[in-house]
């Protein structure tokens, strides 16, 4: 596979905030199963985001190995995590995320990778029972001392970090978020499996892809340079 740089963690995003329908050209990039799944979304913005994320994933891979996007074999494991089921893509890990108005795709040859992007909605940020969202006692105390807006931003930052780590780990939402410890000051995270010794370490990278969205990228190991890539999804 043609990769842009050794030990790279590449990130693409696409802003959907002005889009009202999925362009047919994007839908054509998907395989039959993805097109069927896209039709099951009841809300149009969810359908647009799903189509955009999967079209972008296929496009960035296809542009690097010289195949048609719809010809790529993208499978999912038992946790629903996508992987490239092709000899040409061995050693490449992928992750995608979509929310209202924004999608993100990460591609890595530096180990496991996970990406999460969320829209900022201060009204939906929980104000109580934060432990149910996997936050530690120290994080909860810190958030409770903040004002409303600052607390919302801090919660979203911690939540996207945990989502990204859970995706990189591979277990997704089946991984208890309380087993993920976040150190935002050092941009690292650790996962714990039943004891006080970390089972794995993760590096973190954060971004505000728009005024209304927050994103966190997580990947394993000490290697990996984040490369912010130019959008490759056609704009309409």
Confidence of residue 195 (pLDDT cuts 50, 70, 90): low
The DSSP output letter for 110 is: S
Q: For the chain, what is the mean pLDDT?
A: 89
**pLDDT at 65 (0 to 100):** 84
**pLDDT at 2 (0 to 100):** 52
* pLDDT tens string 130-185: 888 899 999 999 999 998 889 999 999 999 999 999 999 988 877 889 899 999 88
User: What is the C-alpha separation between 19 and 17, in angstroms, rounded?
Assistant: 6
The DSSP output letter for 229 is: P
- Stretch 197-208: mean pLDDT: 87
**pLDDT at 174 (0 to 100):** 79
User: What is the C-alpha separation between 74 and 66, in angstroms, rounded?
Assistant: 15
- Stretch 43-54: mean pLDDT: 95
Phi, psi of 215 (to 5 degrees): -135, 145
CA dihedral 177, 183, 187, 191 (to 10 degrees): -40
CATH of domain 8-228: 3.90.470.20
**pLDDT at 3 (0 to 100):** 56
Confidence of residue 43 (pLDDT cuts 50, 70, 90): very high
């Amino acid at each position: 596979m043609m990769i842009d740089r050794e030990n790279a963690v590449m990130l693409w995003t696409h802003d959907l905030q002005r889009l009202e329908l999925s362009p047919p050209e994007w839908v054509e990039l998907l395989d039959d199963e993805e097109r069927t799944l896209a039709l099951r979304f009841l809300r149009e913005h969810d359908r647009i985001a799903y189509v955009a994320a999967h079209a972008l994933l296929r496009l960035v891979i296809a542009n690097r190995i010289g195949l048609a996007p719809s010809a790529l074999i993208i499978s999912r494991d038992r946790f629903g995590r996508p992987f490239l089921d092709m000899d040409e893509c061995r050693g490449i890990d992928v992750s995608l995320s979509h929310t209202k108005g924004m999608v993100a795709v990460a591609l890595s040859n530096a180990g496991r990778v996970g990406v999460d992007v969320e829209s900022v909605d201060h009204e939906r940020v929980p104000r109580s029972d934060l432990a149910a969202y996997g936050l530690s006692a120290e994080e909860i105390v810190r958030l409770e001392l903040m004002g409303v807006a600052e607390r919302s931003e801090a919660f979203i930052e911690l939540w996207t970090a945990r989502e990204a780590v859970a995706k990189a780990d591979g277990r997704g939402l089946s991984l208890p978020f309380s087993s993920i410890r976040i150190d935002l000051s050092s941009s690292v995270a650790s996962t714990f499996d039943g004891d006080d010794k970390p089972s794995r370490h993760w590096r973190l990278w954060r971004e505000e892809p728009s005024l209304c969205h927050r994103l966190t990228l997580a990947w394993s190991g000490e290697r990996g340079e984040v490369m912010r890539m130019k959008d490759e999804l056609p704009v309409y």
